[in-house]
Amino acid sequence: MNLNKYSRQIALPFIGIEGQVSLFQTKILIIGAGALSHSSSIYLTTSGIGHISIIDFDIIEESNLSRQIFFRQEDIGKYKAEILSKNLKNYNKDLNISFYNTKFTENIFNEMKTNFDIILNASDNFETRKIINTISLKYNIPWVDIGIFQTKAHYCLFKPGYGCYHCLFPDIIESNENCSLMGVLSPICGIMGSFAANEIIKFIILNPNSKINHYFNFNFMENTFKEYYWTKNLECELCCNYKYSLEIKSKLKKDQYEINFEHILNRNDNYFIIYLDEDFKKTKQYLTLKQQSIPFIQKSIYHFFDNNKIEKLANKHYFYNKKLILICKFGIKSKTACDILRKNKFHSYFLSKTQKQSILNLD
């Protein structure tokens, strides 16, 4: 991952390097490749969401071109999901972007065999919403619903454990009214897609502090905006049928591989210390901790965002059969590097912030 590409985003206090890594590790499924999908997916792509899958069975028609901004005249007759994904890849080749030219069903979802972190519904029919709601509860996946009707629009985030689509709309019935039949104003698609992308990014980074159980309603003819708070229906027949946790199950707890000073001294494991702050200069190749000599090197945090450098790291003979201890000034870089190394099959840990100085003061 090229961090320089996201430097303006990383500069935001609530994102930083750790937040950017979280975005890069996120897997999102976008259902529908229409106008809302275009405006949301482009900003999810340029923001660095690492894995994006798009599913839609529909074919591009001439009437789509005024709203679905990545389609051109020569694309008419081709699959929407395929053309959209190819265009997104041109904006960010670092990402894994895939497509499915088929109708979304639960069986198709199971065939994907991907542990999605979040689902974005950018389709315009109620049957799809019901399917997504069931999948969300069954597999513990948060999902976002956006929709447009003429000059009105809505947005809502659903998280298992807090209530579902059926809690909010228990008596909703199928309707034939959608943007294809009733019309839609093109700029609204851009506004709502961008709004959804922004909220999804905040949810990935700030969860659980994001606004869950809030239904946003927009009227762009009157330029009015309303926010409604809703609660889980404790007697919802769908929620009661599924067991779920209150966390996204595919997310690793950030403190799971935290290690302390005493743990290092009291075990006979082979450790190797990697220090990530460039302001600390250490000429020795070993740190002596209570008569234990532990090998030591310094690396830049950027080293761990380069796949080639990680492969070279794996081939270093002095890492063989070692447990890697990551240390940095504030604990953020070490957590980030630890997570990346874990995903690349390294036995890595990070030292707690309060324990760091104890090691650095020893010779």
> ω into residue 208 within 30 of 0, thus cis?
yes
pLDDT at position 210: 72
CATH domain 258-360 topology:
Oxidized Rhodanese; domain 1 (3.40.250)
263 backbone dihedrals φ, ψ, rounded to 5°:
-60, -40
pLDDT at position 253: 44
Per-residue DSSP letters for 195-232? HHHHHHHHHHHHTTSS--SEEEEEETTTTEEEEEE---
Per-residue DSSP letters for 265-308? HHS---EEEEE--TT-----SEEEETTEEEEEEE--GGGGG-HH
Report the run of H or E that residue 99 belongs to, with start and end: strand 96-100
pLDDT at position 208: 64
pLDDT at position 285: 62
Question: What's the CA gap between 50 and 1, in Å, rounded?
Answer: 9
pLDDT at position 259: 77
pLDDT at position 247: 40
Which portions of the chain are predicted below pLDDT 70? 172-182, 208-209, 243-256, 261-269, 277-293, 317-320, 330, 352-363
Helix, strand or coil, per DSSP, at residue 46:
helix
Name the superfamily (CATH) of residues 3-241.
Answer: NAD(P)-binding Rossmann-like Domain (3.40.50.720)
Q: Strands 323-327, 292-298: parallel, antiparallel or unpaired by DSSP?
A: unpaired
Structure confidence by residue, pLDDT tens digits, 20-79: 999 999 999 999 999 999 999 999 999 999 999 999 999 999 999 999 999 999 999 999
Which residue ranges make up each domain of the chain? 3-241, 258-360
